[in-house]
Structure 1
Amino acid sequence: MSLLLYNLFIVFYRWALQLAARWNPKAQKWVEGRKEWEQALIRFRQQDQRPLVWMHCASLGEFEQGRPILEWIRANYPNHSILLSFFSPSGYEIRKNYAGADYVCYLPMDSARNARQFIETASPSLVIWVRYEFWYHFLNILSGKNIPVILIAGRFRKSQPFFRSYGRLHRHMLTCFQHLFLQDGASAELLSKVGIHKTTVAGDTRYDRVSAIAEKFEPIPEIEDFVGNNPVIVCGSTWPEDEEELDHFANTRPDIRFIIAPHEIYEEHLRDMEKLFQHTVRFSVWKQSPDAGTTANVLIIDNIGMLSRLYKYAKLAYVGGGFGDDGLHNILEAAVYGVPVIHGPVYDRFPEATELIEEGGGFAVSTALELENRFNQLLTEENALATASRAAATFVASRRGASAYIQTYLEEKRLLTS
């Protein structure tokens, strides 16, 4: 891809989002959130002139991968300011008040002017890019100013432009990184073939993140009251496609407590869920008046931020996204507690799902009947459940440590000194 084509793509992408913003709430937030970004960033840097570390994340999932490093920097280098940027509203809107950063913002659309203005105003001493999203002008200008940029939790596939005949511009972006920390050896091999050798196979920082969450687990009294002594299935980050696979089993098993945390909690979706599942109560209602849900076996979580703790109460977990195009959500949040994970058939882009299945802690299903059969097997066969539970816990524990590689590198290269 030539730079001209890249710039044209950026222009058309921005126009498309501005058009979509007229009727699409997510696109509207994308557009509105980037207005007057220059003035806001200038005000922040006038007030906070400490050495600045900038971490960029595409969305919420990438933030969770970067979070162990961000919080380590906060704890060990308090003389540094932290700027956290997002490309997607689904990341920014949830973490815009994140206390671990001094400034949270949208990343402006990639253009030579925007990138130069952003970088010169923020004046970062270190930039950390999480997993993916490679923006040419930002990376090119950072490289030209000799500002160190590292990639963490990177994962590459042969189908990406970096490894195609037309990918010269994308390969240039890779040269802008001082070092790339990768999730797997296959990524390192691909990069080596195009001349990128400053890499370390460190693993996925999400294993460290979910382990830290589990170690700091705090009980949720309202959840404990709801589940009582009943077996619990926690269904996390579900989409309508997932919920349609779950409803029959939930509606015919009043002896089981289902906790469903949908990916999107807008009112229309919550009402659709209440129609689909026969005996429900919303968490907000249950919290205020437990008597309102005495006949319910399905608790609908109508807030953001609880899911990672909910899995602690589960005997089994169902993770959404595997029946649609949006992608499988985080299975590690459940597996860290030794909870077997079940999900839909579309998971080929998620190596952790493949590996968890291979090790016996995960299961993929293609139909509602397969799902019900798997639920029944694990709920009735104690040995099968115990084996899958051990496999899930061991799977996560054995893959911890990616953050330590990155922390050691930052200290050895003295990238966080004043």
Structure 2
Amino acid sequence: MLYLFLISLAVLALLSIIFEEVTHLNKAKTTLFFGCISWVVLFMSAGDPAHEKIVEAELNENLLEIATLWLFLMSTMTFVAYLNAKGMIQILVQKLFPQKVSVRVLMLQVALFALVLSAICDNVTATLVSLGLLTTFKLDSQIRRRMAVLIIFAVNSGGVALITGDVTTLMIFLGGHVQMSELLLLFIPAAVSVMLLAVLFSMKAEGHVSTTPIKREYQRVDVVIAAIFFSTIIATMALNVLFSVPPVLTFLTGLSVMFLVGHNSRSNKEELQILEYIRQVEYDTLLFFLGILLLVGMLKEIGTLDLLTQVYAQFDPNISNFVTGIGSALLDNVPLTAALLKAEPILNTPEWLGLTYSVGVGGSLLVIGSAAGIIAMSKVKELTFVSYLKYVPALLLCYSLGYGLTLLLAYHFYG
């Protein structure tokens, strides 16, 4: 009965996200409520001090993972929020993209931009920067929503090809199951599937759009902070590969440098305005992540993820990997991947590459299935759980094509 009650709390949290437009209850607050209540129930049902200690240890482990993600999100969001407030992202877009472009061409350009960016930096940063592009173009609500969906899929797809792009790819790599050169193969099916989605989305898109003119002038310190941001991204990749420095530590270091530089160049009043802007824009996103991860941690604690691992072993690995990717749209792909790695399935190289692609990209099938989707839902008001569902057929088609190409190439080169 206890497990059914806890699972029902997770279902209620999911329903609160789905029907947010009907209930008018903020999804960040509802998921946080159900996430906290689920752990309170776990403590109350422990029964004796020994079991309470076990639950406490699991909660502390879960909170450590959440704190790491929160700090990483906070540091990346602070950079992006600052640069967006100063118009630097819009200025960059004006340098990279033409001032007037057809919607069809813009879709292809944005897809390619998000795909490449997510391969060289983390999904959170790639999503925030790519969504920043949308604010520079005068798009109607339907096109903006379609662009946001395209960015989610492109970011998740690009992240699978390098260990710097996706946590699950890094986990499988550190487990010794795939090599760096083998992972690079995944960029081909990722690029093909993303371009297919861009073409499908652009078929009914007509007309031209222009960038919003930027009249304000930027100062030298804004350029310096932009350089610090991109240097931090490069340093994050290099230090993680060479010395296994956690990405959150590198980004917090970059953030501290940004604060030191900004403090010497800004008035206290202006610093407070920037911090207030960050708080207003990002706080709901952080609360949403907190609630979701508390719920996933609870499901892991009661053994639901272990049950999924047992089901995985019952079928052919190629089929299980495909279905696991779809499952990662409902459950966070990080604990799902961790559970599979802990089970130590016996897979060959093509099967490991298939798993890497599926858990990395499959979360795109639902808006709540990936960090990119959650961030996009909090940033693009036209994007909701229900409105995202209309794009699922196209997303499933492109995911299936990418997975099929992954197996085809993997078995050809490594089978």
**After TM superposition, is the score higher than 0.5?**
no
TM-score by length of 1: 0.22
Higher RCO, Cα 8 Å, sep 6+: 2
Structure that is richer in helix per residue: 2
TM-score by length of 2: 0.22
Structure that is richer in strand per residue: 1
